């Protein structure tokens, strides 16, 4: 049982604009979901689209099209968001099984950038409904594909502590790619730098994947050099295994995550502190790349460079911190971030760093996304990580401006949110919610006038129409950054549960605004926007109950701290009341779990 002490709000005031906007944003998005579903899906939940779709690609995009619906439910949206997410997950799984991408309810073979994208909805559904036995069984089965516990999916080499191929899934490692595997991706990859610098007949940085002769040479080199061995991108699989731990608490899942991450830490150490991007079948760096530590699949060279090194390292390190409480795991992505920053330069007031390593050395100098250092700072709260963020020249300029629209991961406002937490951008809450409302309205407008032919739609079409946006709500209500889109878990300071209906999320009418976070405490304002009804809620320390709430201070009443000493606490908000609350936390004091309060 959790602490029965309740903090009762006494201050009465008209609800602030941010609270009204927040509740309006939630209610409008949950209303927009069935409009999207009616326009783009059939009665059985499958997407209205073509009859055939060959190759590896696509199922991730089907799942991505509703990936944040269960997250909106977790934040306080209606129950239909969860039930419709579960319904669509089953439908997309069936649809892409018929296309040929899915086997045993999981991608038969693809890389972990795409597995990671498609898994975010799966993780959120598990968090939202942890008592769902079918989901629990699936989560364990999927994790076993990567732990050497499934004979049909021998992805794991226990002796070498490595995943055996960058293309993997429910049918195991795919060491040989066939001609049609990249059928739907060839036109897209033709716009990226070539994966190799010695493709016969190719001169220059671009290789035309649409040319069958060139494609044949690329496919041959992919199979010879890239497919038999491990890559950093596979570290994103640690989220899948951590997900199984959060549902079951079984130690074998934690052990695997730590063992795999530590194997990569050893490879980094052996490679003079730089993360290699290709490990051969015998565990040797550069084994199939002529000894080069760069040039692997989704590595330092091709196709995205830096992102697919830093993101999986950060995802895995954050999972390890969650599972152990040991923040020294953050040194693994820190080391790469610092090496890259040392190689950077400031140009026109922007920090540029190399995003690729070619045979001639570092290249492709572009702005460094604040996502990478901010995720590390958020989890560590250490001065060294704050200092790294403040070395960005953009800190004083573009980080104080809201960009319109949204990125694919709904995650383009890391910098402005950081400035808000620092007390330097007080209008951020209203501005970010306004921008997300505008983008939702724009998408609904396009949906209403969409008379295009589904046969002409790209596989990304539906996700570009999804009217749900959660970045602002995650940041403002829970006090955490948006998830790392390519397969990260939700790491936040606070989660909420409706004590009346016994479900996750803020109760109706309640707005929440995390105003500051420090190494020791979190300050949040809670508002009951209803003058008619009392609302009762439970606050949880961390997304997974990993933080202990030591004490709570009602700043609006200027009272002494109240001892809590639990991962949960109760709040009572009478009609029209608000509460400014400072919570003293001890981080990573508990074994993380999806279980929620004891009445779950």
The dihedral through the CA atoms of 428, 433, 436, 442 has a sign that is negative
Burial class (CB in 10 A: 0-12, 13-18, 19+), 138: buried
Q: What angle do CA 466, 409, 476 make, to 5 degrees?
A: 95
Please report the pLDDT score of residue 598 as a whole number. 86
CATH number of 6-175+227-494: 1.50.10
104-120 in b/e burial notation, b at 16+ Cβ within 10 A? bebbbbbbbbbbbbbbb
Give the per-residue pLDDT at 600: 53
Cβ contacts of 456 within 8 Å, gap of 6 or more: none
Query: Cβ neighbours of residue 272 under 8 Å, at least 6 residues apart?
Result: none
Residue 407 tokens read as 């990125």
Angle in degrees, 0-180, between the axes of helices 112-128 and 307-324, rounded to the nearest 10: 30
- Report the pLDDT value the prediction gives residue 407, as an integer from 0 to 100: 86
Domain chopping of the chain, boundaries? 6-175+227-494
Q: For 397-417, write each residue's pLDDT tens digit.
A: 899 999 998 888 999 999 999
Q: Which of 384, 432, 382, 430 is nearest to 406 (CA)?
A: 432
Residues 490 and 305: their CA atoms lie apart, in Å, by 24
Q: Could you please report the per-residue DSSP string of 8-26?
A: E--EE-PPPHHHHHHHHHH
For 459-469, what is each residue's pLDDT tens digit? 999 999 999 99
pLDDT at residue 157 in the model: 98
pLDDT for residue 599:
72
Cis ω for the linkage preceding 418 (within 30 of 0) = no
Please state whether the predicted TM-score (pTM) of the whole model is above 0.75.
Answer: yes
Q: 587: which DSSP letter?
A: T
- Chain centroid offset of residue 111 CA: 16
Kindly give, in sequence order, each residue whose CB lies less than 8 Å from that of residue 419, ignoring residues fewer than 6 positions away: 395, 399, 400, 425, 428
Q: How far apart are CA 292 and CA 117, in angstroms?
A: 29
> Tokens 């949040």 map to which residue?
524
Please give the average pLDDT of every successive group of 10 residues along the chain, which has 600 residues.
79 96 98 97 97 94 97 98 98 98 98 98 98 98 98 98 98 98 93 94 93 97 98 98 98 98 98 98 98 98 97 98 98 97 94 97 96 96 94 92 90 96 97 97 96 94 96 98 97 98 98 97 98 98 98 92 97 98 98 89
What's the rounded Cα separation, in Å, for the pair 96 and 51? 10
Are 311 and 368 within 8 A, CB to CB? Answer: no
**Got the DSSP string for 125-190?**
HHHH-TT-HHHHHHHHHHHHTTTT--TT---EETTTTEES-SSBSTT----S--GGGGTTTHHHHT
């Amino acid at each position: 049982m959790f602490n029965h002490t309740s903090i009762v709000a006494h201050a009465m005031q008209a609800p602030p604009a941010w609270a009204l906007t927040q509740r309006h944003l939630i209610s409008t998005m949950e209303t927009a979901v069935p409009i999207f579903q009616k326009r783009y899906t059939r009665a059985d939940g499958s997407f209205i689209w073509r009859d055939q779709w060959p190759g590896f690609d696509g199922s991730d995009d089907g799942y991505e099209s509703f990936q944040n619906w269960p997250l909106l439910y977790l934040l306080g949206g209606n129950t239909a968001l969860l039930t419709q997410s579960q319904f669509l997950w089953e439908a997309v799984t069936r649809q892409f099984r018929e296309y040929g991408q899915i086997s045993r309810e999981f991608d038969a073979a693809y890389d972990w950038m795409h597995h990671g994208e498609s898994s975010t909805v799966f993780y959120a559904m598990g968090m939202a409904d942890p008592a769902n036995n079918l989901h629990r069984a699936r989560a364990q089965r999927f994790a076993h594909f990567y732990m050497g516990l499934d004979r049909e999916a021998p992805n794991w080499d226990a002796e070498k502590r490595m995943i055996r191929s960058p293309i993997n899934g429910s049918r195991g490692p795919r060491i040989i790619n066939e001609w049609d595997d990249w059928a739907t991706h060839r036109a897209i990859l033709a716009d990226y730098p070539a994966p190799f610098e010695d493709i016969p007949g190719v001169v220059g940085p671009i290789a035309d994947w649409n040319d069958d002769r060139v494609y044949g040479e690329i496919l041959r080199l992919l199979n010879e050099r890239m497919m038999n061995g491990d890559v950093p991108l596979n570290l994103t699989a640690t989220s899948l295994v951590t997900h199984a731990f959060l549902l079951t608490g079984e130690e074998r899942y934690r052990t695997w995550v730590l063992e795999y991450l530590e194997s990569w830490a050893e490879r980094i150490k052996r490679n003079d502190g730089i993360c290699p991007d290709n490990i051969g079948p015998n565990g040797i760096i550069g084994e199939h790349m002529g000894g080069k530590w760069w040039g692997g699949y989704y590595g330092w060279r091709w196709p995205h460079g830096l992102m697919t090194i830093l993101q999986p390292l950060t995802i895995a390190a954050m999972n390890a911190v969650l599972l152990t409480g040991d923040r020294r795991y953050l040194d693994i992505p820190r080391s790469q971030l610092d090496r890259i920053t040392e190689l950077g330069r400031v140009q026109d007031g922007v920090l540029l760093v190399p995003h690729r390593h070619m045979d001639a050395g570092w290249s492709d100098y572009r702005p460094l996304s604040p996502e990478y250092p901010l995720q590390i700072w958020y989890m560590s709260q250490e001065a060294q990580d704050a200092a790294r963020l403040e070395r960005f020249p953009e800190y004083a300029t573009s980080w104080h401006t809201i960009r319109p629209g949204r990125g694919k991961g709904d995650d383009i406002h890391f910098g402005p949110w950081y400035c808000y937490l620092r007390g330097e951008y007080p209008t951020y809450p209203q501005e970010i919610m306004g921008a997300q409302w505008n983008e939702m309205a724009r998408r609904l407008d396009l949906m209403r006038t969409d008379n295009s032919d589904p046969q002409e739609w790209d596989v990304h079409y539906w996700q570009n129409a999804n009217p749900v946006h959660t970045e602002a709500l995650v940041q403002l209500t829970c006090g955490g950054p948006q998830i790392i889109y390519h397969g990260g878990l939700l790491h936040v300071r606070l989660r909420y549960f409706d004590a009346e209906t016994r479900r996750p999320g803020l109760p109706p009418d309640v707005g929440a605004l995390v105003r500051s976070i420090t190494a020791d405490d979190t300050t949040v304002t809670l508002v009951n926007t209803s003058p008619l009804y009392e609302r009762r809620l439970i606050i949880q320390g961390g997304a997974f109950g990993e933080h202990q709430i030591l004490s709570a201070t009602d700043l609006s009443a200027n009272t002494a701290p109240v001892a809590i000493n639990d991962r949960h606490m109760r709040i009572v908000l009478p009609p029209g009341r608000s509460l400014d609350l400072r919570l003293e936390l001890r981080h990573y004091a508990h074994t993380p779990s999806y279980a929620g309060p004891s009445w779950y």
